[in-house]
Amino acid sequence: MSYKFYLLIIVGCSYAVSSVANGSLEAVADSIKIHIESSNLSEDVSRVSSKNDELILLIYEIPDSLVLHPPAFHKKILFTKTNSSQVFDWIKAHNQKYDFICFLIEQDSQASFERINASIRIYHKEIYEHYRKKEYLGIEKYLGDEDVLGIQYFHLKTGEPLELVFQGMQKLDKYSYTLKFY
């Protein structure tokens, strides 16, 4: 009888632990869809370009410190004339704040993601100020040949869709991207 009793306790405990673990997963994360679409690629004019846009999308929580924490979301994206729209899932932790900063970077060199991310995390305020003032040589000091297509601060509200638009001209080439969260 004691063998069956212990077996029942072990099975019951493992079921309870499994239920708590499954429930806690639901309690710590929200799934958000991110849809990014290009209506004008940034590299479609130049004769020497690949005619594709190699982008890095980085989303960081607004920190309480000077340095940004690792990205809450990041993705390398390749856009072509025939592939100008992509959708991604972002599993956002509940304990994350709702205020974020988004960087849309066009990768023009072979710099690693780690190098780009590290520069942005440390120098995000300086990069933002140079971007805001359209001082592209100032951005080069931190990101080398990478082009900043946009930097936006935003606030996510649970259950409410949000749209960010990144458009402008970079090196005589117009670009337009729409980022939708839902």
Give me the CATH number covering residue 35.
2.60.40
- Domain of 105? 29-181
Q: Residue 77: what pLDDT?
A: 96
Closest CA to 89 of 141, 35, 159, 145: 35
User: How far apart (Å, rounded) are the C-alpha atoms in residues 122 and 179?
Assistant: 25
Q: Between residues 84 and 119, which one has the greater pLDDT?
A: 119
Asked whether the predicted pLDDT for residue 123 surpasses 90, the reply is yes
Q: What is the pLDDT of residues 126-173, one digit of tens each?
A: 999 999 999 999 999 999 999 999 999 999 887 889 999 999 987 777
Q: How far is CA 42 from CA 6, 48, 125, 137, 152, in A?
A: 66, 13, 24, 19, 18
Tokens 């989303």 sit on residue: 59
Q: What is the pLDDT of residues 104-115, one digit of tens each?
A: 999 988 899 999
- As a whole number, mean pLDDT of residues 24-29 equals 39
Q: What is the CA radius of gyration of the chain?
A: 21
User: In the 8-state DSSP scheme, what is residue 144?
Assistant: T
Q: Residue 9: what pLDDT?
A: 39
User: How far apart (Å, rounded) are the C-alpha atoms in residues 116 and 156?
Assistant: 25
Domain presence at residue 119 = yes
Domain presence at residue 24 = no
Number of domains the chain contains? 1
Domain presence at residue 65 = yes
Q: What is the pLDDT of residues 5-22, one digit of tens each?
A: 443 333 344 333 333 333
Q: Residue 29: what pLDDT?
A: 58
Q: Between residues 2 and 10, which one has the greater pLDDT?
A: 2
Domain presence at residue 10 = no
Rounded-to-10 torsion of CA 25, 99, 175, 67: -100
Domain presence at residue 14 = no
Domain presence at residue 97 = yes
Asked whether the predicted pLDDT for residue 45 surpasses 70, the reply is no
Asked whether the predicted pLDDT for residue 3 surpasses 50, the reply is no
Domain presence at residue 131 = yes
Domain presence at residue 135 = yes
Q: What is the pLDDT of residues 51-78, one digit of tens each?
A: 788 999 999 999 888 999 999 999 999 9
Average predicted confidence (pLDDT) for the chain: 81
